[in-house]
Amino acid sequence: MDHSLFSKPRDLFLDIVNPRDYVQIDSVSHMYQNLKASVQKPLKMILLYGKPGTGKSMLLHKLHHDLSKHQKVFMIDIPIIDEGDFLRVLAQKIYGYVNREAITLTDFLELSTAVNYPQSPIVLLDEAQLYSALLMEKIRLISDARALKFVITLHKTEDEDIIAKEHFQTRIWESIELQNASCEELKIYIQKKLLKANCFDVANMFNEKNIKLISKLTKGNYRETNKLLFSLFSLYTWYEKNTPSKIKYNALKPKYIEMAGIQTGLLRD
C-alpha cells in the first residue's frame, strides 16, 4: 500500500479521459453550454475542433455522459475506419440491428426510417480527422437524411486545415473551437482537480511561480499538463520515500518541475 502524500495526486493526473474528472473552468464551461445548446437545435452536424490537448475528447465524453441520461447517444471514441463496419456498428448500437455482415448505406437508411425515436439519436465521433473522405461523405448523407445527428471532434493542426476540406465546409452548421488554457485557467484546473480529490496539502504547494513555469512548459495544453504533473508527483513520491529531507512542503521546487519537463520531453536537456 502506497502511503505517499504524492501518490494520490500522481494518479489524478493519469492521462485518462473520464467525464467524472471533468473540471469546470469558465471558458470551457461556456463552450460546453454552447455545445449542449447546439445539440438541441435541429442541426445535422456539429464540429468541435482545436489543437491536440485542448480538451475536445473530455468535452465529448462529458457530453456523452450528460446526454445519455435523456436520449439515445452513441460515442465512437476509437475511429472505425472501415465503412461497412462503421455502419454495422452504428446499426447495432443505435437501432439494435445485429448483423455479422457489413451493411450498405441504403440498408442503413432503410433501417433508420423503420425505427423512430422521439429525438434524433446523436453520434459522437472523436478523432474524425482519421476517417476517410468517402466515409465522411456517407456520414454527411446520413445526417442530411436526418437519420442521425453527428457531433465530431477534429484536431486542428498547423500542417493541415482539415476544417477547410469541402465536406466540413459545406455541411457543418455549427463549429466550436477549443483553445489552450491560459495561466489562470491552468491554475484553476490543477487546483480544482486536486481539491476535488481532497489533496489539500499538495494543492497548497502550487504558487504563482510554479503555475507560470508549468504553463510555460505545457503552453496551456491540458494533456501535456497532465503528463507533466504525473511525472512531477512521481518524482515527489520517489523523493519522499528516499530523501524526504529534500522536499519542502510549502512550495514546489522549480527544479523538480523542470526535471519532470525533461522526463516528459517538454524540455530538452
Residues in contact with other proteins by CB under 8 A are: 231, 234-235, 238-239, 242, 255, 258-259, 262-263, 267-269
| Least Cβ distance, residue 201 to other proteins (angstroms) | 22
Sort strands 174-178 and 45-50 into parallel, antiparallel or unpaired.
parallel
Query: Do the Cβ atoms of 23 and 191 come closer than 8 Å?
Result: no
Which CB sits closer to other proteins, 95 or 239? 239
| Least Cβ distance, residue 187 to other proteins (angstroms) | 24
Query: Do the Cβ atoms of 123 and 64 come closer than 8 Å?
Result: no
Which CB sits closer to other proteins, 65 or 212? 212
Which CB sits closer to other proteins, 70 or 268? 268
| Least Cβ distance, residue 238 to other proteins (angstroms) | 5
CA dist., res. 160 & res. 196, Å (int): 38
**Residue 146: C-alpha distances to residues 40, 122, 229, 267 (Å):** 14, 11, 44, 48
Query: Do the Cβ atoms of 203 and 214 come closer than 8 Å?
Result: no
| Least Cβ distance, residue 252 to other proteins (angstroms) | 15
| Least Cβ distance, residue 52 to other proteins (angstroms) | 25
Distance of CA 56 to the CA centre of its chain: 4
| Least Cβ distance, residue 214 to other proteins (angstroms) | 16
DSSP state of 203: H
**b vs e for 254-265, b when ≥16 Cβ sit within 10 Å of the residue's Cβ?**
eebbbbbbebbe
CA dist., res. 231 & res. 10, Å (int): 7
Which CB sits closer to other proteins, 162 or 267? 267
Which CB sits closer to other proteins, 100 or 248? 248
CA dist., res. 158 & res. 51, Å (int): 9
Which CB sits closer to other proteins, 145 or 259? 259
